[in-house]
C-alpha cells in the first residue's frame, strides 16, 4: 500500500517523488544475480548485455585481445588520451561509436580460435544465465562454443543469437548492418522525398535498427528467464533477425499492400495518413552569429493540425483562410495533391521566422508544435537533465562523461549507469580468478601466449 503522503500528492508530484534520480543508487536492482556472457560486436549485439547490466545484471563482455571488437575502431576522435584502447596498445584509443552500447559491463579479452580459449568460454558458460552473441550464423557452433555445446552442461542457459537474416532461409550466411537491415526490410522505400522533390531515399544517421533490435533481444531474454524460473526449469535458444526487425516497422504499409496491393511511397517530412502533421522549413537561423555551419542553416519546426478545427486555426494564423475553405475536411487534405499545396503555403508563412518563432506562434494559437532540435539543444535542455535522461557520469576509468541514462523508469528498481565502458581486457584478472579459478601465474601464462 502507498503511504498517505504519496496518496495525497498530485500525479506530477507522485511521479517526481517515486522516480527521483537522487534515490537511484539507494534502491535494489531488478536483475541483480543474473550473469550474462557477451561475445558481441558493433551495436546490435553489444547493447543487449548493456541494457541488462543497466538493470543490475553482471554482464561480461568478451572480445578479441589487445585491439578488442571492431566498433572500437569505426568512429573518429579515438585519441588515446581520451579513451585508451588497452594497456597493450597505448597509442590507440576507443572511438565514440562505442558509447551507449557497452555500459556497466566487465571487460575480458580472449582469442576464441585457440583451444585454451574454448575451455575458458565453457567455464564461463557453465556459470552463466545468459549468453548473447551476434557473429555470423553458426560461427560459435562451429567453434564448439555455441548453444548446442553449452546446453549439454548448462541446460538452464538462455542463449540469444542475433544476426542479419536468421539462422536458416535465404541470406543466412550474409553479414548485416543497420543500414542493410533497413534496405532489405523495406524501411528506406518509405523514408526520404518523393520523385517531385528529388526522389532519394534517406537513411537514419543513428543506428536505430541496431538499438531497437537490441531492446527486442533483451525483452526476449527477460521473457525466457521468466519462463525458465517459473515454468520450465530450462533455458532455450533465441534468435533475432535484423532484417525481420526492420520489416516490422512497416506496420500499416504491409497491411495496405496486403489488402489493396498498394506500394507505400516516400513522403519526405509529411505524413501520408494525417495532414497537417509534418515538418516545416523555416526561413531564418536561430543562431545567425554562430560559427557552426549547421547552426547557420535555417531551422525546422514540426507542426500538427490534422483535425478540422485545428487546421482552420492554422490557416487563420498564417493569414490564409481560403486554404481552410478549399480543404475543409481531413479527407480533402490528406491526398497527395492537397499536401503539395498546403505545405508550401505554410512554409511561405514561415519564411521570415526562426523555428522558435513558428513554435511560439503555433503554441499561442493552441496548436501542437516542436522545433527540430540539434544535439547541442537536446544536451543543454533542463528536461533531460532533470529526469536523468542525460547525466554527467563520474566514470571510474575516464572521469566526467556526459552520457544518456535509461529512457524508462522503474519506481522500486531503477536502471542506472555505473560506467560507460572500459579498455580491452580491463577485468581479465578479476574474471579468470573468480569465475574460472586461475592463479596469477596461470593468468600471466595465458597473456604470454596471447590467449587473453
| CA–CA distance, 70 with 174 (Å, rounded to integer) | 18
Take residue 116 and report the three cell numbers written for it.
Answer: 585454451
* 374 and 419 part of one domain: no
CATH number at residue 338: 3.30.1540.10
pLDDT of residue 409: 94
Q: Does 361 lie in the same domain as 213? A: no
DSSP annotation of 187? G
Burial class of 292 by CB neighbour count within 10 A (0 to 12, 13 to 18, 19+): exposed
Please give the DSSP secondary-structure letter assigned to residue 196. G
Same-domain check for residues 294 and 431:
no
Q: What φ, ψ does residue 32 adopt, rounded to 5°?
A: -60, 135
Whether 224 and 135 map to the same domain: the answer is yes
Beta strands at 158-163 and 277-281: parallel, antiparallel or unpaired: unpaired
In a domain, 391, yes or no: no
Nearest CA to 238 out of 146, 111, 318, 145 is that of 146
* Distance between CA atoms of residues 10 and 186, nearest Å: 45
Q: What pLDDT sits at residue 196?
A: 81
- Residue 377: which of 286, 274, 269, 281 has the closest Cα? 286
49 and 197 share one domain = yes
How far apart, in whole angstroms, are the C-alpha atoms of residue 129 and residue 108?
Answer: 18
* Diameter of the chain measured on Cα atoms: 84
Residues 308 and 346 in one domain: yes
Q: Report the DSSP pairing between strands 58-63 and 35-39.
A: parallel
Report field, pTM of the whole predicted structure over 0.85: yes
Residue 310, in any domain of the structure: yes
Output the CA–CA distances (angstroms, integers) from residue 214 to 14, 115, 188, 191, 297, in the order listed.
Answer: 31, 30, 20, 22, 34
- Are residues 138 and 282 located together in one domain of the fold? no
Q: What is the CATH number of the domain that holds 167?
A: 3.40.50.10540
Alpha helices by DSSP H, 133-251: 139-142, 147-153, 178-185, 208-227, 242-248
Asked whether residue 61 falls in the same domain as residue 198, the answer is yes
Is residue 253 in a domain? Answer: no
pLDDT of residue 62: 98
Domain boundary among 333, 357, 380: 380
Are 40 and 120 in a shared domain?
yes
243 and 283 part of one domain:
no
pLDDT at 1: 57
> Does some domain include residue 263?
no
For residue 336 the three cell numbers come to 497527395
75 and 203 belong to one structural domain = yes
CA distance 414 to 404: 15
Cell of 88: 597493450
Which pLDDT value is given to residue 81? Answer: 80
Q: Provide CB contacts within 8 A for 315, sequence distance 6+.
A: 321, 322, 323, 324
What range does the domain containing 229 cover? 22-247+411-448
Single residue among 365, 380, 395 that ends a domain in this structure = 380
Q: Is residue 395 part of a domain?
A: no
Number of domains in the chain: 2
Residue 262 lies in a domain: no
Same domain, 369 and 224: no
**What is the mean pLDDT of each successive set of 10 residues along the chain, which is 452 residues long?**
80 94 95 98 96 98 95 81 90 89 97 96 98 94 97 98 84 75 82 84 86 95 98 97 86 87 88 95 94 91 97 97 96 94 97 98 97 93 91 93 93 96 97 96 96 96
The answer as to whether 10 is a domain residue is no
Residues 159 and 225: beta-carbon distance below 8 Å: no
The answer to the question of residue 388 being in a domain is no
Amino acid at each position: 500500500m502507498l503511504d498517505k503522503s504519496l496518496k495525497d500528492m498530485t500525479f506530477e508530484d507522485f511521479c517526481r517523488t517515486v522516480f527521483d534520480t537522487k534515490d537511484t543508487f539507494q534502491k535494489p536492482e531488478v536483475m541483480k544475480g543474473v550473469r550474462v556472457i557477451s561475445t558481441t560486436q558493433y551495436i546490435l549485439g553489444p547493447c543487449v548485455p548493456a541494457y541488462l547490466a543497466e538493470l543490475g545484471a553482471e554482464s561480461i563482455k568478451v572480445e578479441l585481445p589487445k585491439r578488442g571488437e571492431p566498433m572500437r575502431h569505426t568512429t573518429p576522435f579515438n585519441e588515446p588520451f581520451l579513451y585508451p584502447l588497452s594497456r597493450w596498445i597505448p597509442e590507440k584509443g576507443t572511438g565514440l561509436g562505442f558509447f551507449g552500447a557497452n555500459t556497466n559491463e566487465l571487460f575480458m579479452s580472449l582469442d576464441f580460435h585457440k583451444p585454451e580459449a574454448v575451455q575458458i568460454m565453457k567455464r564461463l558458460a557453465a556459470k552463466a544465465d545468459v549468453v548473447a552473441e551476434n557473429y555470423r550464423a553458426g560461427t560459435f557452433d562451429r567453434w564448439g562454443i555455441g548453444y548446442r555445446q553449452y546446453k549439454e552442461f548448462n541446460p538452464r542457459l538462455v542463449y540469444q543469437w542475433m544476426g542479419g537474416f536468421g539462422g536458416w532461409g535465404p541470406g543466412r550466411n550474409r553479414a548485416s548492418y543497420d543500414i542493410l537491415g533497413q534496405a532489405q526490410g523495406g524501411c528506406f522505400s518509405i523514408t526520404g522525398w518523393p520523385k517531385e522533390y528529388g526522389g532519394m531515399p534517406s537513411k537514419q544517421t543513428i543506428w536505430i535498427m541496431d538499438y531497437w533490435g537490441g531492446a527486442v533481444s533483451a525483452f526476449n531474454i527477460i521473457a525466457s528467464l521468466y519462463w525458465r524460473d517459473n515454468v520450465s526449469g530450462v533455458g532455450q535458444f533465441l534468435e533475432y533477425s535484423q532484417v525481420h526487425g526492420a520489416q516490422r516497422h512497416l506496420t500499416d504499409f504491409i497491411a495496405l499492400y496486403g489488402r489493396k496491393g498498394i506500394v507505400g511511397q516516400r513522403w519526405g517530412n509529411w505524413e501520408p495518413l494525417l495532414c497537417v502533421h509534418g515538418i516545416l522549413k523555416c526561413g531564418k537561423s536561430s543562431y545567425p552569429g554562430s560559427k557552426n555551419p549547421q547552426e547557420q542553416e535555417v531551422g525546422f519546426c514540426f507542426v500538427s493540425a490534422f483535425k478540422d478545427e485545428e487546421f482552420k486555426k492554422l490557416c487563420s494564423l498564417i493569414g490564409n483562410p481560403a486554404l481552410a475553405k478549399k480543404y475543409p475536411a481531413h479527407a480533402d487534405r490528406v491526398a497527395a495533391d492537397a499536401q503539395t499545396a498546403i505545405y508550401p503555403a505554410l512554409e511561405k508563412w514561415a519564411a521570415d521566422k526562426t523555428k522558435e518563432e513558428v513554435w511560439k506562434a503555433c503554441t499561442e494559437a493552441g496548436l501542437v508544435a516542436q522545433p527540430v532540435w540539434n544535439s547541442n539543444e537536446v544536451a543543454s535542455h533542463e528536461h533531460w537533465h532533470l529526469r536523468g535522461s542525460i547525466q554527467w557520469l563520474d566514470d571510474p576509468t575516464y572521469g566526467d562523461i556526459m552520457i544518456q541514462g535509461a529512457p524508462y523508469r522503474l519506481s522500486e528498481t531503477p536502471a542506472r549507469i555505473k560506467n560507460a565502458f572500459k579498455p580491452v581486457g580491463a577485468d581479465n584478472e578479476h574474471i579468470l580468478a573468480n569465475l574460472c579459478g586461475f592463479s596469477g601465474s596461470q593468468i600471466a601464462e595465458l597473456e604470454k601466449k596471447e590467449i587473453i
